[in-house]
Amino acid sequence: MIALRYHRLKSLIGLKADFEVMSGMDDSGPFVELDRDELGIYTVTLNRPNRINAINLAMRDELWQIFLLLRDDPTAKCAILRGAGPKGFSAGADISEFGSSPSLYESREARLNRDLWELMAGLDIPLISVLHGFTYGAGLEMSLYCDLRVASEDSQFALPEVTLGYIPSAGGTQTISRHLKSSDAALMAISGLPMSAENAYLKGLVHQVVSKEQLDDVAIGWARQLATYDSDVVRALKRTLREGSDLPLDTAVLAERIQSLNLVTRTQ
């Protein structure tokens, strides 16, 4: 069954040779690269290009430590998330680990103890995702926890889990429905079919589509602009947007006023 699901996914993305787990390839890590510039801008790069940056448990652990750093660094202004290699931002969860050691129960326990997605969702600094090629499954879900998304013209977006016999487990069914209208979200989740970069822009899934050569420049430009703003204000804005999204309007407006008052009183 695992092999059948694996071949279905390879067929879906059309990259049988590239996505196959090859024993001769070096895959010893580190699986995430981290850089920080003098402005307080972090760049987080998924670094498994020979597997289209598929997210395995080791990469999750590295991302967990990095996002803790982003949470706890008071000088951090924002973070850029990108994927190494030419094929894509991320093909999603590494299905070569499915059914292998560690056991399913150990994997689930690790996810509960280190809830990467909840940690990302709760970050106060802005997150910018730089998307190219294949942005599938957990890769798409990760990008949806970001605040700004720029994509290259060759990008494809999909939640293919249904084609493999399971459902998204990193919040995909909920985040996609908060970025797209309900009919488009249902189409992506239930069909598993990919969406082009052009459609993703027209439907509001990404904020800008550019050539692959322009991707990093656009993201860096956004990040440098954000870095010029008062960090306390930006963090308060993000908290207000996040915490008010599911509240009744009157309650959300009250929460906004409280955040505003907190900013005013910090200098008094």
Q: What average pLDDT does this structure show over 119-137?
A: 96
The region, left, alpha or beta by phi > 0 then psi within -120 to 50, assigned to residue 120 is alpha
Nearest-angstrom CA–CA distance, 43 and 49: 16
Active site residue 161: yes
Question: Binning pLDDT at 50, 70 and 90, where does residue 80 land?
Answer: very high
Nearest-angstrom CA–CA distance, 187 and 23: 36
- Summary mean pLDDT of the chain: 85
Q: What average pLDDT does this structure show over 43-53?
A: 96
More confident residue, 106 or 51: 51
Least confident residue range of 3-12, 42-51, 155-164: 3-12
Nearest-angstrom CA–CA distance, 210 and 195: 16
Q: What average pLDDT does this structure show over 133-138?
A: 96
Looking at residue 81, what is its pLDDT?
98
Question: What pTM, to 2 d.p., does this model score?
Answer: 0.84
pLDDT at 7 > cutoff 80: no
pLDDT at 115 > cutoff 50: yes
The two three-digit tokens of residue 75, written as one number: 């000088």
Looking at residue 260, what is its pLDDT?
81
Q: What average pLDDT does this structure show over 131-150?
A: 97
Alpha helices in the chain (DSSP H): 2-13, 16-19, 57-72, 104-113, 116-121, 138-144, 172-179, 182-191, 197-202, 215-227, 231-244, 249-265
pLDDT at 12 > cutoff 80: no
Q: What average pLDDT does this structure show over 191-207?
A: 96
The helix/strand/coil state of 154 is coil
Q: Which fold has domain 2-227?
A: 2-enoyl-CoA Hydratase; Chain A, domain 1 (3.90.226)
Looking at residue 16, what is its pLDDT?
37
For the four alpha carbons of 150, 212, 64 and 93, in that order, the dihedral sign comes to positive
CA distances from 64 to 79, 175, 217, 236 (A): 14, 20, 26, 23
The region, left, alpha or beta by phi > 0 then psi within -120 to 50, assigned to residue 128 is beta
DSSP character string of 200-263: HHHTTSSSEEE-GGGHHHHHHHHHHHHHTS-HHHHHHHHHHHHHHTTS-HHHHHHHHHHHHHHH
Q: Say how many C-beta atoms besides its own lie within 10 A of residue 50's C-beta.
A: 19
The two three-digit tokens of residue 141, written as one number: 């879900």
For the four alpha carbons of 191, 17, 116 and 164, in that order, the dihedral sign comes to positive
pLDDT at 109 > cutoff 90: no
Catalytic option among 38, 97, 161, 198: 161
Active site residue 153: no
pLDDT at 71 > cutoff 90: yes
The helix/strand/coil state of 69 is helix
Looking at residue 103, what is its pLDDT?
52
Catalytic option among 62, 109, 141, 213: 141
> Is the peptide bond between 102 and the residue preceding it cis, with omega within 30 degrees of 0?
yes
The residue extents of the domains of the chain are 2-227, 231-265
Contact assessment for residue 115 and residue 109, using Cβ atoms and an 8 Å cutoff: no
Q: What average pLDDT does this structure show over 252-264?
A: 82
